[in-house]
Structure 1
Amino acid sequence: MRSIFAVMCLLLSSLSFAAPLKVVASFSILGNLVQEVGGDHVQVTTLVGPGEDAHVWQAKPADLKKLSGASLFFVNGLGFEGWLKRVEQAAAYKGKVITVTKGFKPLALEDDHGHSHGKTDPHAWHDPRAVLLMVDQISAALQAADASHAAAYQANAAAFKAKITQLDQRTAAAFAAIPSGKKKVVTSHDALGYLGHRYAIEFFPLQGISTEAEPSAKEMAVLIRQMRKSQIKAVFAENISNPKLIEQIARETGAKVGPAIYSDALAKQAPANSWMGLFEYNTQAILRALQ
């Protein structure tokens, strides 16, 4: 009896101290969402880290090694990770790829802004309602891969979704108090379409610009005329872009450049080093500029 009891204790001990599930996320914002749902039961590695630009990112041998040893690979999809297939092949990845925007109806991109994502806007994480769907996808994938901790993943997802919903409601009320004619913002990169769609904000990105291309003089002139005509005073660069062009536009129009917006990557430090922190930081900065 003692030997049976000892074996059972060893088994229970090994289960309680089981190594966390190794997963990889394609970029820092998604990595944070996975960590929120996975908690202590997952070990999350991100390929494109905080402050890094997914548009120009190139995998290093260490990145390929991390991916090859992961059970799950979480990606945004919608064309955001243009290097995705190339990296999977280079890493000889055999695990499951989880596309967190699966089943999501994306916004269409304008044809003339010079982006390279294709016909749909991949930046869905700027709409809290889309993030709720992503959390569901993440939770389902973790439960399928690690059934022994399914209850924990469900509880973490439910708690996180409640926080997201509350944040969305507060933000919607704050933007609803701004007159519609004033909700106009210039940004350096066309990444905030979902935020604009959710809260009825009109964003004017520098035409022809992404992190890989600069606008022509003609495109700059068109935007400057639009700003003067519409009296747009809210102007923001992004943490992954060069602010020089935004600063030039601000000088020519008398607009004031606000703090850097976090679009495609988390910050390395608080407050924008989590999805919740990033979202609240961005929206509060925009609200202050519009008031």
Structure 2
Amino acid sequence: MKKLFRLFLKPIVVLAICALANVSNAADKIPVLASFSILGDLVRVVGADRVTVSVLVGPDEDAHVFEPKPSDAKNILQAQLLVTNGLGFEHWAQKLIKSSGYKGLVVVASQGVIAQNMPTEKGDSVETDPHAWQDPSNVAIYVRNIAAALSKLDPAGARIYQLNSEVYTNELKALDADAKIQISLIPVAKRKVITSHDAFGYFGAHYGIKFLAPQGISTNIEPSAKQIAQLIQQIQMEKIKAIFFENMSSSKLLSQLSKDVGVTVGPELYVDALSKADGPATSYLKLMRYNVTQLVAGMKKN
């Protein structure tokens, strides 16, 4: 009877030890807060099971118009690492950091990226385009910066973070090569696209596509009647039929634009945010592949 009891007890002890180990591992994970969903995905890729990741601006949400809540200040205090894009994308970040009293590590993922400038709405000056992740080669810089920050917090995992970033960089190169092949099949004269806001500057420069938008870099700036009229004239003159809006933007303006010029709006693109779990862009790699597919299909109609 005692022998049978010992045999029965042994599996229970093993299960208890495993359960305690899991609790310990969960407690040891580095809590990371990313400013928006695309960065959150990159942190998960690099950090894997050594991190827990949350985001301030979630899937299908717009970081341009985001307003931090008191609960966000609480969330930031629970993080050991805050990951931001920089380049002026999160205009609310510094205020949130200051008001919350956050003293943890902050990493600007775009550090080292060669930033692009674009004319302001008035056209008399320029402003920095923050959408650097639209070029996969820039995202390779993002993941290196994230890996370095995680390694600083967790030296024991430094080799893992480095390997994860290297593997992901190879995936980015494969994605980039495939995108270039697809876009190369479109005649240069047809590589023109209308989008709801000016978020594809890096994408356009990298792949040789001309993007036009009724809104500027930020979605919270309404275009003037004159700007819309000029865009309609250009669409009609150049016979552009590749018209798209984004998942985190209102489609009202672009739908009206397509109605005025008699062109059907294409499927929504994913630019500043991932899709929700049931969408086609639940990761950065999926987002880029999906966008390339839709853009190529649209440009073929030009």
Give the TM-score normalised by the residue count of structure 1.
0.91
Asked if 2 retains the 8 angstrom alpha-carbon contact of 1:208 and 1:216, the reply is: no
Q: Does 1:53 align with 2:62?
A: yes
Give the Cα separation in 2 of the matches to 1:194 and 1:265: 16
Question: In the alignment, residue 130 of structure 2 is paired with which amino acid?
Answer: P
Instruction: Say which one has the larger Rg.
Output: 2
In structure 1, the partner of 2:38 is 29
Deviation digits for residues 66-109 of structure 1 (CA, Å, limit 9, x no counterpart): 11121111100000000011100121100111011112111111
Asked if 2 retains the 8 angstrom alpha-carbon contact of 1:54 and 1:81, the reply is: yes
Unaligned 5+ residue runs, structure 1? 1-8
From 234, 237, 253, the equivalent of 1:245 is: 253
SS in 1 for 2:237: helix
- Of residues 202-211 and 24-33 in structure 1, the stretch that sits farther from structure 2 once superposed is 202-211
Structure 1 residue 129, shift from structure 2 partner: 0.4
Q: Structure 1 14/30 Cα, relative in aligned 2: closer, same or farther at 3 Å?
A: closer
Once the two structures are superposed, the pairs formed by residues 55-94 of structure 1 within 5 Å of their partners are 55-94=64-103
Give the Cα separation in 2 of the matches to 1:57 and 1:220: 25
SS in 1 for 2:63: coil
Unaligned 5+ residue runs, structure 2? 1-16
Q: Does 1:148 align with 2:139?
A: no
Give the Cα separation in 2 of the matches to 1:113 and 1:249: 21
Structure 1 residue 112, shift from structure 2 partner: 2.6
Deviation digits for residues 106-127 of structure 1 (CA, Å, limit 9, x no counterpart): 111122379xxx7210000110
Give the Cα separation in 2 of the matches to 1:152 and 1:207: 42
Deviation digits for residues 161-207 of structure 1 (CA, Å, limit 9, x no counterpart): 11111000000111111111000000110011111011000000115
Instruction: Give aligned pairs, total.
Output: 279
Once the two structures are superposed, the pairs formed by residues 3-22 of structure 1 within 5 Å of their partners are 17=25, 19-22=28-31
Asked if 2 retains the 8 angstrom alpha-carbon contact of 1:208 and 1:219, the reply is: no
- Of residues 24-33 and 263-272 in structure 1, the stretch that sits farther from structure 2 once superposed is 263-272
Asked if 2 retains the 8 angstrom alpha-carbon contact of 1:76 and 1:99, the reply is: yes
Give the Cα separation in 2 of the matches to 1:15 and 1:51: 32
SS in 1 for 2:35: strand
Structure 1 residue 210, shift from structure 2 partner: 3.7
Question: In the alignment, residue 259 of structure 1 is paired with which amino acid?
Answer: P
Deviation digits for residues 21-76 of structure 1 (CA, Å, limit 9, x no counterpart): 01111111111111110001001110111111111111122211111121111100
Q: Does 1:216 align with 2:224?
A: yes
Give the TM-score normalised by the residue count of structure 2.
0.87
In structure 1, the partner of 2:171 is 163
Q: Does 1:174 align with 2:182?
A: yes
